[in-house]
């Protein structure tokens, strides 16, 4: 039975990947760009979901890690003349280092103090990008060279999509498997009651640190992907608006739900495009939709779907208000 279930799951995943692989065949350049943004936003929000939704740490450093990843890749290509692939590989140890620093701070602070400190960390990184002179190219930013491999140039959104598909699929699968293991259960125990988790012999400090590392690495790699998707990065892209954007995706999806995170990433990424026709009232419509979701779906979009859908869902919502 186990082998049959595993075989069925493998077939389903292969079919899904085959469908995803065909997306560039039916999209124009702009629509493909939006699809690429959805992949990037999902990966960085997945990191925040691990830290906030599963481990319950009020840390908002996702925008900082996104910027660290983007600037690491971009500056390594421009200043050090490294290939994109080496730059993306370099993102992992750099993000890990910053995540360890954030984790050390996180072990000393909690809730609102942690939130304020991590927001300050994000703003400090933006200040560095703006005032970095020739190193970071200041407030105007800089262009990202086109990735190449064996003479093949990823010079279009359709070609870049396949890089995103491979990287995001691998990292998402690894993260989901970790969250479904005893590590994920330890995260939830810490989120629900830290003292009780410690009494149950769960090493709270180590698991908190692991959550920060996962958030940092996922956000950093997402930043490395984001740099080539947009083609040019500036400090303004990694400030408060990104913090709010990632927070909305995680909360509106339903804390502790990967399926909900996928749904909310698509909705929040595409919503500005859907209300573009009413440009004068764009912010009002955008904010109104979010308020309606919060009022009528406090468990997030996934919780709303679970409540009113006639179908049963295998994934349980790990958090309810």
Q: How many separate helices (H) and strands (E) can be counted in the chain?
A: 13, 4
Token output for 105: 């701070």
Per-residue pLDDT band at 220 (split at 50, 70, 90): very high
What are phi and psi for residue 232, nearest 5 degrees? -155, 130
Nearest Cα to Cα of residue 252 among 197, 290, 225 = 290
Q: How many CB atoms lie within 10 A of CB 109?
A: 16
- The Cα 284–Cα 275 span in angstroms is 10
pLDDT band with cut points at 50, 70 and 90 for residue 321: very low
166-211 pLDDT, tens digit per residue, is: 999 999 999 999 988 899 889 888 888 888 888 888 888 899 999 9
CA Rg value for the chain: 20
Question: Does the pLDDT of residue 214 top 80, yes or no?
Answer: yes
Structure confidence by residue, pLDDT tens digits, 267-291: 888 887 776 666 666 667 666 766 7
Q: Over the chain, what is the mean pLDDT? A: 84
- What pLDDT sits at residue 40? 95
pLDDT at 7 over 70: no
84-108 and 62-78 are packed helices; what angle lies between their axes, rounded to 10 degrees? 150
Q: What integer is the mean pLDDT of 103-119?
A: 82
Q: What pLDDT shows up at residue 164?
A: 94
Separation CA 53–CA 31 (nearest Å): 30
The pLDDT tens digits of the residues spanning 290-302 come to 677 777 766 667 6
Q: Tens of pLDDT along 16-67?
A: 778 888 888 888 998 999 999 999 999 999 999 998 888 888 888 889 999 9
User: Which band of pLDDT confidence, cut at 50, 70 and 90, is reported for residue 250?
Assistant: confident
The DSSP 8-state label assigned to residue 310 in this structure reads: S
Q: What is the pLDDT of residue 172?
A: 92
Instruction: Please give the Cα distance from 183 to 160 (Å, whole number).
Output: 33
**pLDDT given at position 71:** 95
Q: How far apart are CA 105 and CA 50, in angstroms?
A: 17
Per-residue CA distances from 173 to 141, 165, 258, 262 (Å): 33, 12, 11, 13
Q: What is the DSSP letter of 27?
A: -
Where b means 16+ CB within 10 Å and e means fewer, 305-318 reads bbeeeeeeeeeebb
pLDDT higher than threshold 50 for residue 235? yes
Going 24 to 26 to 31 to 37, the CA torsion angle's sign is negative
> Residue 93: what are its φ and ψ, rounded to 5°?
-65, -35
**Tokens 């994934």 -> residue:** 315
């Amino acid at each position: 039975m186990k082998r049959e279930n595993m075989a069925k799951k493998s077939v389903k995943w292969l079919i899904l990947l085959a469908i995803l692989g065909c997306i560039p065949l039916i999209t124009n350049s702009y629509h493909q760009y939006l699809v690429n943004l959805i992949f990037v936003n999902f990966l960085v929000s997945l990191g925040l979901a691990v830290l906030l939704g599963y481990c319950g740490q009020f840390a908002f450093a996702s925008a900082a890690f996104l910027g660290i990843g983007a600037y690491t890749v971009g500056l390594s290509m421009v200043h050090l003349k490294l290939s994109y692939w080496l730059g993306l590989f370099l993102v992992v140890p750099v993000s890990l280092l910053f995540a360890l620093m954030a984790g050390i701070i996180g072990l000393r602070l909690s809730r609102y103090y942690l939130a304020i400190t991590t927001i300050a960390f994000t703003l400090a990184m933006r200040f560095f990008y703006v005032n970095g002179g020739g190193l970071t190219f200041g407030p105007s930013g800089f262009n990202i060279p086109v990735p190449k491999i064996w003479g093949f140039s990823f010079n279009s959104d359709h070609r870049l999509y396949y890089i995103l598909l491979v990287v995001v699929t691998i990292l998402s699968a690894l993260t989901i498997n970790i969250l479904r293991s005893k590590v994920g259960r330890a995260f939830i125990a810490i989120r629900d009651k830290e003292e009780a988790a410690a009494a149950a012999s769960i090493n709270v400090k180590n698991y908190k640190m692991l959550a920060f590392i996962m958030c940092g690495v996922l956000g950093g790699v997402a930043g490395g992907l984001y740099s080539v998707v947009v083609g040019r990065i500036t400090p303004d892209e990694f400030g408060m608006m990104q913090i709010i954007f990632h927070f909305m995706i995680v909360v509106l999806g339903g804390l502790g739900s990967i399926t909900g995170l996928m749904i909310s990433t698509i909705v929040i990424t595409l919503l500005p495009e859907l209300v573009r026709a009413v440009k004068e009232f764009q912010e009002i419509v955008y904010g109104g939709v979010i308020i309606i979701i919060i009022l009528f779906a406090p468990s997030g979009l996934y919780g709303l779907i679970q409540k009113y859908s006639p179908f049963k869902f295998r994934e349980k919502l790990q958090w309810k208000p």
